Amino acid sequence: MNVLIVEDEPNYSDTLEMFIDELGYQVIGVAQEGRTALNLFKTSKPDIVLMDINLNGEMTGIDVAKEFQSIQPTPIIFITSFDDKETFEKAKETAPHAYLIKPFDPETLERSIELALQRAHTEDTKVFDEESNVVLAKNSFFVKERNRLIKVDIDDVFWVEVEDKYSILHVADKKYVLRQSLKDVAEKLDPSVFVQTHRSHIVNASKIEDIDLHLFVVRINGNEIPLGKSYKDVLIKRLQML
């Protein structure tokens, strides 16, 4: 998950970078004033922003947050040394996903990030309830793995297979176990890219290396994926053939 830090105190921005690294997330930029923050936001498109309210320069963190939200709604966690009501009321106008008072510990930051993502990508449902441990953002899954939320770009998915009541998401040399049925996962994938090859497998067609019509397997990343006879003709028709 990509995090943008907007903080004008170098010592504190270094601390935030260390916290983010310990949580397993990626810092994609650090800005000390508003204009630099806007440029980074436009070019890096972060998943979440940690924003100091009192910044050097002509723009406050609240001003910058308003600009961010007008460009692309993004979870923002405000950070400030001031806990006065006036500052809080001004910050509320930008609908932040959390509001932290300095100093705070990594655990508090981690909980705030998880809650921010929950609020950003869900409405009435809980992210970590007994029915689900995955949230689908616009072009990615957020998979909970222990105490981390791992962003998985859908384009990076090689294939999905079902095992008992779980679906297994295969990405390069890693896999994630989702408490979702194959049907539920399929409904969230682009049908112009993903195709079902077997009653228990869905593959990313752009990742197919070859198709063995004798053994009825599809090879992806050196792995053999079963190709059911009833799915073969549909797959062949959908591929661009020469």
Domains of the chain and CATH, by start: 2-121 (3.40.50.2300), 154-238 (2.40.50.1020)
Confidence of residue 6 (pLDDT cuts 50, 70, 90): very high
pLDDT surpasses 90 at 143? no
pLDDT for res 147: 67
In the sheet that holds 194-198, the strands lie side by side as: 174-178, 166-171, 159-163, 201-204, 194-198
Task: Report the alpha-carbon distance of residue 120 to residue 170 in Å, rounded.
Answer: 25
pLDDT for res 79: 86
pLDDT surpasses 90 at 216? yes
231's CB contacts (< 8 A; 6+ apart) are: 195, 196, 197, 198
pLDDT surpasses 90 at 87? no
Q: Average the pLDDT over 40-64 and give the result.
A: 89
Confidence of residue 200 (pLDDT cuts 50, 70, 90): very high
Task: Report the alpha-carbon distance of residue 189 to residue 178 in Å, rounded.
Answer: 14
Q: Strand 2-6 and strand 26-31: pairing?
A: parallel
Q: What share of the chain is helix, strand, coil (3-state, %, to 5)?
A: 35, 35, 35
Q: Average the pLDDT over 50-60 and give the result.
A: 87
**pTM summary value:** 0.50
- 123-132, 174-183, 192-201, 208-217: range with lowest mean pLDDT: 123-132
Confidence of residue 41 (pLDDT cuts 50, 70, 90): very high
Tell which residue, 65, 50, 60, has the closest CA to residue 17: 50
Confidence of residue 131 (pLDDT cuts 50, 70, 90): very low
- Residue 54, SS3? coil
pLDDT surpasses 80 at 145? no
Q: Average the pLDDT over 222-235 and give the result.
A: 91
Task: Report the alpha-carbon distance of residue 79 to residue 90 in Å, rounded.
Answer: 13
pLDDT surpasses 60 at 121? no
Task: Report the alpha-carbon distance of residue 42 to residue 131 in Å, rounded.
Answer: 36
